[in-house]
Amino acid sequence: MRLRFGIRLLMMLALLARPHAIFPSPADFEGKQIVGIRFEPANQPLLASDLAERILPLKAGFPLRLYEVRLAIEDLYGSGRYEDVAVDASSEADGVVITFITREALFIRGVVVDGVGEPPNPGQLVNATKLQLGARYTESQMKQAVESLLELLRVNGYYKATITPQVTPADAQQVDIRLQVDSGKRAKFDTPVIKGNPHRSVEDLIKATRWKRFFGFLGWKEVTETRVSQGLDRIRQTYQKKDFLMAKATLDRIDYKEDANRVVPNLDVEGGPKVVVKARGAKVSKGTLRTLVPIYEEQSVDKDLLVEGKRNLMEYFESKGYFDAAVDFDIGKTDKGEELIEYAIARGNRHQLAVLEITGNKYFTTPTLRERMYITPATFIRFRHGRYSGAYLKRDVNAITDLYRSNGFRDVQVTSTVEDDYQGKEQNVAVLLNVKEGVQWLVEKLEVAGVSDEQLPEIQGLLHSTEGQPYSDLNVATDQDSVLNYYYNAGYPDATFEAAVTPSAAPYRMNVKFTIKSGQRRFVRNVLVSGLKTSNPDIVSSRISLHTGEPLSQVSMIESQRRLYDLGIFARVDTALQNPDGEEHNKNVLYRVEEAHKYSLTFGFGAEIARIGGGSQVNLDAPGGTAGFSPRVSLGISRTNFRGVGHTVSLQTRVSTIQRRGVLTYLAPQFKGNPDKNLTFTGIYDDSRDIRTFSSKRTEGSVQLGQRLTKANSMQFRVGYRRVTVDQNTLKITPQLIPLLSQPINLGLVSSTFIQDRRDDSSDAHKGIYNTIDVAFAASIFGTMQQITTDPKTGLQSSVPCQAPAAGATAPDQCGKARPSFTRALGRNATYHRIGKDLIFARVLSIGTLLKSSAADVPLPERFFGGGATSHRGFGENQAGPRDATTGFPVGGKALLINTLELRFPLIGENIGGVFFHDAGNVFSNVGKITLRSSQRDLNDFDYMVHAVGFGIRYRTPIGPVRLDLAYGINTPRFIGFQGTRDELLFGGGVRTEQRISHFQFHFSLGQAF
Amino acid sequence: MRLCLVLSFLAVAGPGLAEIIDRVAVIVGDGVITESEISRQIRITAFRNREKPVFTPESRRAAADRLVEQALIRREIDVSRFATATTVEYDPIYREFRKITYPSDEAYKKALADYGLIDGDLQENFQWQATLLKFIDVRFRPGIQVPESELADYYKGKFVPEWTKNTAKAAPAYDEARTDIEKILASERTDNALDRWLGQTRTQTRIIYKEEAFR
């Protein structure tokens, strides 16, 4: 016992006597030789080379300097990879060992908010957290995120919501954040407290908010942020409608009744005086006043808005040709004591901008300048009075000035003169613009500093400000953007660019010096992908073009993101740098994906109005078709990301009175990771009567490989097999041909299509070329055996059916069987040319031929049919070409030649255009029968060119122009038709009459004709 | 036997014990202030004030607060590419300090050594002081305007009473004192503007004090 006490005492004394030996101070280590450097933990988040660089000059064998330790800590933390760093030193026999004790920083990999019914939607919830992909994760941020989220939930009625954050560590210093929300029940509205002087009853205001269900019979609605703001808007609107334009309705606060889970909005509502806005001196509709005077839109009345209204009214009248219009406004009271805002308008005489003349321009041609101008002289129909106003003129003068300045004409002066009663013609206005170009400044000498010899040619290739070229501030700014983009994309995010410009000794010359500091180059450390659930990681990684060790290119990051979106399987793809603010040479690149819903359902309905009527199953009266109406319903279902490999399976169905169609597709986009290839498997069932002559059922299976060769050129290769059954009860042809043409047909087709698309806009082209060549071969091996007849005299074989042999006799020798085999080629060449500023000349030539290579004839459904909105507009849908000699219904041809010319022009304003067109051509019996002859020889001659001219209107919409074409067929075919029923056709009766395709055709559809 | 073991432990344990020689004390945005930096700050301040350095947790915390403000201002200076003070700008006040406090080189060097500092530490401190004053003058002073009415109020309410109290003489006329009053009030407002900016910047910056560094 005594001994123990003695030991304790001894130890205490020893500690007191040698404090430095047992608890050394940092200064005790200063200058001692470093004999070892360790890290705890041994695995550090920085790359070994980066780590060694950051702790320099602390090295084994060198003396320890405490300020160097401090710098090392600062540098390590500056990398962004650490949350804490401490340095520990311990004496060894021959020096000191220092140990870096570190704690890694964490970075956000993904944020998920669960357990909340919409609204707010998932995107709003995640955005509210303000937790960014790749950013450093901190507890304080998490607290803020929870607070922000609770606030968002409260404004959406979830007052009882609680949030449980879950932070799950992941690889590469990442964490997944899940905010599990127990939202509780959404609160409902309660009777609001109305303050102020609303001039209305509370009931009226509540009714305006629509916060009650079904006029209040079903109680109050649940609270959402949108409902609150919409309620306030609606209150304001009710005042607006009654001209209380100064009315105010604001939300003061919301009180929450916890026991009842209800909220009481406290509203400040001020009805204010009634404001009457009138126009005096000219007729302006109330609607126009509402559009032009912004007090309605802003829901406020102040002088600035009234002045803006005055300016808008002036421009409105100027645009109508009242170029001298003067507008002012008075504020007063009406007899009833209401506020009166009266715009006094003096329109003056109506003018016409007859002349727009530009003089003095040499460097730029007048059309070049006109292209940049908004003011337009009067034209027939489109701009009856021209387009002119003071503001437009000012804008145009500035546009021309800027154009010259950007091309080195630093001293350019553009002046405008407006002459009324031009050349003595009353009300004619001329705008005369005079350009004093001055001298063009050029770059005398260009110096690019800070760039290596290897990079210099590439950088110079990006520059506009090269020696001998025009000097302008715009060019310098453009050069700055180009150079910095080049560096950013090459992995230099800290690159800087400075331009110094000094006048040269030579007049009108500038010396330009660009100094570029590239800064530290950054590289890709790793590419980290997260968020995949069912998708195969390979389909993502194969689309990311950034790889470890490569320069960190922003373009590649964005491009890879685009490719991932293009897969069509992700609802969201975010990309970011991990540790964006950290000073690291090698950065992790993050891709966070959110897989889209796997199933999507589409439903649509519509109608077709065209010459699709007539010729019903029992009546054969109208082989040329009559105006008809066909309602249609479509339903589609798609399964994206099938088996997690980014493929899509979809079923599209359409049912109308003339068609029942189902298409099952399996699409493999970016086939085998190649963005230029896609593979499609298709199965089709089609039961249609779009050709008036017959109804057919088609079942088809095909495989297509699509390949984009260049930006403009692509190829498609297809192999398909189809079975077509023609319903013999619907065939409206010569009875003797029915058994033959109603035979079920099996066809195996190998086809290829080349597409060249150089149009500027595929839905409404203004210039460019569009060519397609389609070649298909139907091999006899897959075809259905057909009866054929051999002419004993000529030896020619044809698909005329054999006559049944007489009783007891054998079949004649000339009867046989063959399978159909043919080659089908169809070429199309379309070009689009701009004429002047507004006119577009477009043309398309389509040539096709069917060449049979067996005795069996080409089956009816495989023949060319033509005519209609996207073909020859002189015909109704599929009405061109050869017709049945008995019934007059079209039976298709084996050759096709159609040429279309169109002149497209603006008609009224910006959105309505017009078209004059000429369609010429036909579907011919065979390629040898193609002719340019325009006359029909007899009632059985359909092999001639049919010409049609017409006029169309186009209304521009975001999905392409809506089109109405009216065509007049000049030499439409006459033919023998049959008036009677099908029974009469088969069993006798009915009348054969001469008929003619109507001269007038109309076509209504979406998109240009070609 | 047991006694021998204890003695031998005491003989060898001292040199082998590990000591934290530096660590992160405060995180300010993307940067840190280390424990040694806080100590250095205390020593410099004490040296300039000719006081004994005090390393209590409270004084360390106060020094850390000052360094946090410095870090925030330094960051703003970097972002706005503001030029730091040149030797010409800070050298006069540095020399003046040495002349007044440590006239001889020996005394100066000894005092530096006693405080664990080097001459570079002090020069850097003077440079920072000059940079800071320049920065405040450029960043905050131009926006400060003192209305005439406030100058007059200050003259009547504060200047005259204090002058009378301190000098027992009649205060100078308003026009004579106006420039000085304007400087005083402008200076107060500039300081207020700086404080407001610092307060605002603090709320927008991640600042974490590591408690283990202040125990």
Tens digits of residue pLDDT in B157-170 = 999 999 998 888 88
Instruction: Please report how the helices B119-139 and B35-49 are oriented relative to each other, as an axis angle in degrees rounded to 10.
Output: 90
Instruction: Name the closest residue on chain B to residue A19, using Cα atoms.
Output: B14
Q: Which residues of chain A have pLDDT under 70?
A: 1-24, 610-619, 690-692, 734-742, 783-785, 787-815
Whole-model pTM: value is 0.76
Least CB–CB distance from A22: residue in B14, B20, B27: B14
pLDDT value of position A793: 64
Q: What is the pLDDT of residue A692?
A: 66
In angstroms, the Cα distances linking A42 to A37, A102, A236, A926 are 11, 10, 67, 84
**DSSP state letters, A439-467:** PPPEEEEEEEES--TTTHHHHHHH-S--T
Give the bridge partners for A112, in sequence order: A178
User: What confidence category does residue B55 fall into, taking pLDDT thresholds of 50, 70 and 90?
Assistant: very high
The verdict on B79 touching A (C-beta cutoff 8 Å) is no
Mutation pick from B24, B124, B215 vs chain A, by most beta carbons of A within 10 Å, is B24
* Candidate from B23, B30, B210 with C-beta closest to A80: B30
**Interface touch B3/A3, C-beta < 8 Å:** yes
Least CB–CB distance from A86: residue in B15, B24, B31: B24
The residue of B5, B8, B19 whose CB has the most chain A CBs within 10 angstroms, and thus the best one to mutate to test that interface, is B19
Q: Cβ separation of A11 and B10 shorter than 8 Å?
A: yes
Q: Tell me, what's the pLDDT at A10? A: 44
Answer whether B81 touches A (CB < 8 Å). Answer: no
List A626's β-bridge partners, or say none.
A613
Nearest CA in chain B to A92: B16
pLDDT of residue A21: 40
Residues in chain A within 8 Å Cβ distance of B14: 18, 20-22, 24
Nearest CA in chain A to B37: A70
Q: What pLDDT shows up at residue A15?
A: 40
Residue closest to A403 by CA, chosen among A364, A458, A454, A455: A364
DSSP state at residue A585: S
Residue type, A640: T
Give yes or no for a contact between B50 and B40, defined as CB atoms under 8 angstroms apart: no
Measure the CA–CA gap between B190 and B199, rounded to whole angstroms.
14
Which chain A residues are Cβ-neighbours of B17 within 8 angstroms?
A: 22-24, 90-91
Q: Which residues of B touch A21 (CB under 8 A)?
A: 14-15
**Percent of chain B scored above 70 by pLDDT?**
92
The encoded tokens of residue A401 equal 């000035």
Q: What is residue A396's DSSP assignment?
A: H
Q: What is the structure's pLDDT at B14?
A: 45
Chain B residues near residue A87 by CB distance under 8 angstroms: 20-23
Q: Alpha carbon of A981 to those of A619, A802, A977: distances in Å?
A: 5, 27, 12
| Interface check B75 vs A, CB under 8 A | no
Option in A67, A74, A581 nearest B32 (CB): A74
The nearest CA of chain A is from the CA of B26 a distance in Å of 10
Subunit contact B34:A74, Cβ cutoff 8 A: yes
Q: Which of A790, A735, A808 lies closest to A985 in space, CA to CA?
A: A735
- CB burial of residue A266 (10 Å; 0-12, 13-18, 19+): middle
Mean pLDDT over B6-22 rounds to 59
Number of cross-chain residue pairs from A and B with Cβ atoms under 8 Å apart: 99
Is B171 within 8 Å of chain A by CB?
no
C-beta atoms of A89 and B18 within 8 A: yes
Residue to test with chain A: of B4, B34, B41, B206, most A Cβ within 10 A: B34
Residues of A in contact with B23 (CB under 8 A): 73, 84-87
Q: Which of B182, B177, B179, B147 is nearest to B161 (CA)?
A: B177
Its ipTM equals 0.85
Nearest to B19 among A23, A93, A582 (CB): A23
Q: CB pairs under 8 A, 24+ apart, for A197-200?
A: A197/A269, A197/A270, A197/A271, A198/A269, A198/A270, A198/A271, A199/A244, A199/A271, A200/A269, A200/A271
